[in-house]
A and B are shown apart, each in its own frame.
Chain A
Amino acid sequence: MKRNPAAWAFVLPALTVIGLFFVVPVLAGLALSLTDFDLYALASLDNLRFVGLDNYRQVLTRPLFWQALGNTAYFVVLGVPLSIMLSLGCAVLLQSKLARFKPLFRTALFAPVVTTLVAVAVVWRYLFHMRYGWINQLLGHVGIAPIDWLGDPQWAMPAIIVFAAWKNFGGNMIIFIAALQAVPEDLYEAARLDGANAWRQFWHVTLPMLGPTLLMVSILTIAGYFQLFAEPYVMTQGGPLQSTVSVLYLMYEEGFRWWNLGAASAVAFVLFAIIVVVTRGLMLFAQRKGAA
């Protein structure tokens, strides 16, 4: 393998950016999380103390952290399946030979993905309004009493889950469409000859073939959903009663609102560890299931 010194000129710009503005800060964040860097330290570094794992201990014993983790987990456990089911469902429908106007439908279903989160979060905040919002209007037509979506601690996170599903399902839908296109036609033909209807074809042909894609999409979506922040920031400011405080929102508040950078960095790393554990766990689980 011939070494090519020119290659360094090619990779250096990107690597410098990534190294200097990502890797170094991550390492610095790790260091920060071992100190009690706060407002006083911002004023004068004399006020900085090394505290070892104290920040981590405090984070893990704070009730608000566990509430944030619970909120985030709630978001992930309900939101990811909802989003994936919508994506898969729409992908299957779009792939059906009976569907017309495919490009039009596909564009419409994908549009929310490219919109600016802040802008559409503002729009949905009004849609969710208890008296003047359209969602309660529509529910009213079906006979359901108005729900205080963004004011009731029970309903605020479901509201964000619905909003996030609307915003994101298009992305995975496109991936599923590509994966569906890769399923060989003769498998469906064989199933049809065996007398399988559409539903059984889906269950016995499509789903197994989609396995690896489903796994990858799930893992990426789960990792992404754990990083919930912008929606609570714009729509609910973590409320009502902190029912929509996510782990990242907690980090933002500790770090940028109260300037407890040590504690905030600890929260960020704990989140990182959780994401790694969950995604690795899922991959191991899938591997074992695949091997069985």
Chain B
Amino acid sequence: MTGQSPSPPERRRWLQRAALVAAMPLAGCGRSSSGRRTLRFWAMGREGEVAHELLAGFRAEQPQIDLRIEQLPWTAAHEKLLTAFAGDATPDVAQIGNTWLPEMVALGAVEPLDTWLHSSPTIAPEDYFSGIWRTNLVDGKLQGLPWYVDTRLLYVRSDLLAKAGFNRMPDTWAGWQQAMLGLQGLGIAHPQLLPLNEFEPLLALALQQDDELLRDGGRRGNFTSPGFERALGFYLQMFERGFAPSLTNNQVSNLWQEFGRGQFALYISGPWNLGEFRRRLGPEQQGLWTTAPLPGPNGPGASIAGGSSLVMFRRSRARREAWALIEYLSRPEVQQHFYRLTGNLPPRRASWSADSLGRDPQALAFAQQLERVRPTPAVPEWERIAQEMQLFAARAAHDKSDPAGVARALDVRVDEFLAKRRWMLDRARPAR
């Protein structure tokens, strides 16, 4: 043999081997064996934790569907959804916060459900709370089906409040401050837990005002309005007067334990904590706490029209199965089971008439609050605007800044976020 470069067969064989090795991970990804249809469902937080138990009945009814449930933490859910969309890796069905619907619609990620709805005898739109149903209508079409309703109100250590001289939680801002003063008198240094990285409390206070949060068709921020400044001022006062400690929810090691121990007596949170407090506090502590609607500036106040919807993704290849899942989760019995598992409140009146919900005093406060909920602006940039609002508020609480200056700076920033939206809207309607 004379000295030659590697013979072509030798080289080709090596390349073939390399290609095979490289291709192996690609094969068999996400395919279901034995001919069953794979259905991928994403659920978040506590809902994700109970999804397996909740959907056991669905699996029994539909054995030909291979249901895969993915649990996402709320803190990462929004970015995971967007990443999945960007990467063409969306599931078939997902739970999404209803404030994210406009964003998903702007992306063209979700499938309108009108036609599916018409073919379904068990779901009656009139049965749903109308305000909640409306948050799912974007561009005149139904883009998601409400799964549960959510709002924010006060969780209260009623026994401590009673010791401070209040046999029920006041329903005005002034009363609220009096209650906190009273609790401080009992020796609780910071009676109100208001984590600085949660935007919902400030948002709720802002929604209690008459002014809108964005103006000009959602093209510009309206945070310099007197309403928002009033809400921001009240919020910042909580920290200035020491009613609330300056911390984030990461720094609270175990908030249920601390609520039980009386380290704080007031906490603004949502329905899922009904289930959590019942689970994590001992039986002897269950009589010590209750819920109360949010106080407003001059009387009972509004709160967030939140909740989660079930959406079907446009790129899903198992749409019939996806609708079957959405239908299953909308059945009143399943929604009642869901309530028992999580404390999440059903969006259908039929589900509310069940014994357990009708007689649950702590859930009744939510029913009252749900009569007074206001939606947030339906713009795709809303999630970012809400987070930025909270960042500004947290900084203001720390620096003890003047609310007017903060509001002005926030408006400038929000206008930046909305610049592309302005361009897109004005491009669609050039002569205005």
Query: A-side interface residues toward B, CB under 8 Å?
Result: 4-6, 9, 13, 36, 38-40, 42-44, 47, 49, 129-132, 148, 150-151, 153, 236-237, 239-242, 256-259
B251 an interface residue at 8 Å Cβ cutoff? Answer: yes
B108 an interface residue at 8 Å Cβ cutoff? Answer: yes
Q: Is the CB of B253 within 8 A of A129?
A: yes
The contact of A241 among B11, B86, B395, by CB within 8 Å, is B395
- What residues on B are CB-neighbors of A38 within 8 Å? 420
Q: Separation in Å of the B82 CB from the closest CB of chain A?
A: 5
Q: Is the CB of A6 within 8 A of B107?
A: no
Query: B-side interface residues toward A, CB under 8 Å?
Result: 5-6, 11, 14, 18, 75, 78-79, 82-83, 85-86, 103, 106-109, 196-197, 246-248, 250-251, 253, 380, 384, 391, 394-395, 398, 420, 423-424
- What residues on B are CB-neighbors of A4 within 8 Å? 5
- Apart from the given pairs A39-B380, A40-B380, A42-B107, 20 other A-B contacts in the complex at a CB distance below 8 Å: A6-B6, A9-B14, A38-B420, A39-B82, A40-B420, A43-B106, A43-B108, A151-B251, A237-B250, A239-B197, A239-B248, A239-B250, A240-B398, A241-B391, A241-B394, A241-B395, A241-B398, A256-B83, A257-B79, A259-B86
Can you show 14 pairs from A to B with CB atoms below 8 A apart?
A5-B5, A6-B6, A9-B6, A13-B18, A42-B107, A47-B420, A129-B251, A130-B251, A150-B250, A151-B248, A151-B250, A237-B75, A256-B79, A257-B82
Q: Separation in Å of the A38 CB from the closest CB of chain B?
A: 6
The contact of B82 among A13, A47, A148, A259, by CB within 8 Å, is A259
- What residues on B are CB-neighbors of A131 within 8 Å? 253
The contact of B107 among A5, A43, A240, A258, by CB within 8 Å, is A43
- What residues on B are CB-neighbors of A42 within 8 Å? 85-86, 107
Given contacts A5-B5, A131-B253, A257-B79, contact A151 B197 (CB under 8 A): no
Q: Is the CB of B107 within 8 A of A47?
A: no
Which secondary structure dominates chain A's binding surface? loop
**7 shortest interchain CB distances as A-B pairs:** A6-B5, A43-B107, A151-B251, A257-B79, A43-B108, A5-B5, A241-B395
- What residues on B are CB-neighbors of A130 within 8 Å? 251
Q: Is the CB of A242 within 8 A of B391?
A: yes
Q: How far is the CA of A13 from the CA of B14 in the complex (A)?
A: 11
Q: How far is the CA of A49 from the CA of B79 in the complex (A)?
A: 23
